Amino acid sequence: MEFLKGEISMLKASVQELQQHATPLYVYNLDLLRQTLQKAKQEANKYNYHVHYALKANANEPILAEMLQAGLGADCVSGNEVKRAIENGFKPENVVFAGVGKSDSEINYALDQDIFCFNCESSHELIVLNELAEQKNKKARIALRINPNVNANTHKYITTGLEENKFGINAWELQDVVALLKTLPNLELIGIHFHIGSQITDLSVFKNLCTRVNEFQEWFVAQNIQLEHINVGGGLGVDYYNPEQQLIPDFEAYFGLFNQFLELRPGQQVHFELGRSLVAQCGTLVSKVLYIKKGMTTNFAILDAGMTELIRPALYQSYHKIENLTSEAAEERYDVVGPICESSDCFGKAVMLPETNRGDLIAIHTAGAYGEVMASGYNLREKATAIYLN
């Protein structure tokens, strides 16, 4: 596909510019981001769906500016994300605050901003939120995050919709939760919320989610409870293995599936929380080779980037496509590793790369989501910088 050829060509054409920056370096392609957002909005608008950007994927201000320009709302899972969204121009009426462990100070800040909705995950949270809203003489709009017990068929660390997970209210709790709400006058129930996991590439999983949402809708109707908003979360995955074949996810199939299988009541609005699918492919981690170490069974390419800049391979055993931007020699096999004092600090094993030498620039693709935002200072590492290319 021409997009990634252009992406790689852009990076290779920018080698001289990249070499002027200290590495490791996050490089973002804003033109690709804009194309992705345009396609997502185009497909969502067919059904009048609302899309909120999940700040946890990447909260950089230039990225947020593009989200705001595209007309997206903000999905936040911490008080600082709520603050970052509002300080960067998102209107409070387009901000949703989720998260299983909201602190009092985070809730109070969101109440002061009069955000659109709190996605609530337990009876205890409802009680605390009601108390804090009462102290401010406010009424908080809420959606109940329900655990639908749907298997997302993804990595166990990013599965969030099973009863064994910490997230959401279980089906067997709903009757008691609804009874509790009747005693909490400072809360207004406006909808229900679901999120079953991340990096979901099997769209049939979302069909199963729709079936469960429909069943919960029937239950609320039987309780004579009208719901204006249905939030189905996010989780749409991207292609890490062959990004050149699909730089922009299939938003047409994704939104079309919900249109086909989700049974709505008159006037109901549907909300999505997309993060990775919007930003993952626009970001690349560029690193410099420090050393080549010859081993008995493999060669090691030791980079100046490590798990402190991109933790996904160490945390999830995840794959990222790796390119040498500065060598065109015959290929050899390398374990591509970082400098951190952990054996898990490895970006890829048995990676075929052109003969690689000290000083070569290495690109680790699909790093726009859960890359820079998860960076740490372990080993007292300095934070890598970011640049933005159009």
Are 61 and 177 within one domain?
A: yes
Query: Do residues 249 and 291 both lie within one domain?
Result: no
CB distance 349 to 334 below 8 Å:
no
Considering 247, 278, 309, which residue would you say is the last residue of a domain? Answer: 278
Domain span at 343? 281-389
pTM for the full model?
Answer: 0.93
Q: 190 and 333 share a domain?
A: no
The answer to whether position 5 is within a domain reads: no
Same domain as 238, residue 147:
yes
Domain of residue 324, CATH code: 2.40.37.10
Q: What is the DSSP string of 188-257?
A: EEEEEE---BSSB--THHHHHHHHHHHHHHHHHHHTT---SEEE----B---SS-GGG-SS--HHHHHHH
Most confident of 11-25, 142-156, 222-236: 222-236
Q: Is the peptide bond before 185 cis (omega within 30 degrees of 0)?
A: no
24: cis peptide before it, omega within 30°?
A: yes
Same domain, 251 and 312: no
Instruction: List the CATH number of the domain containing 36.
Output: 3.20.20.10
- The number of distinct structural domains making up the chain is 2
Mean pLDDT value across residues 149-157: 54
Same domain, 270 and 296: no
Nearest to 148 by CA among 208, 59, 238: 208
For residue 332, being part of any structural domain is answered with yes
- Reported as a single tens digit per residue, the pLDDT across 292-347 is 998 878 899 999 999 999 999 999 999 999 999 999 999 999 999 999 999 999 99
Residue 161 has pLDDT above 60, yes or no: no
Same domain, 95 and 171: yes
Domain boundary among 261, 278, 295: 278
Residues 172 and 300 in one domain: no
pLDDT digits (tens, 9 = 90+) for 74-95: 999 999 999 999 999 999 999 9
Neighbours of 363 (CB within 10 A): 22
Residue 40 predicted with pLDDT over 60: yes
Mean pLDDT rounded to a whole number for the chain:
93
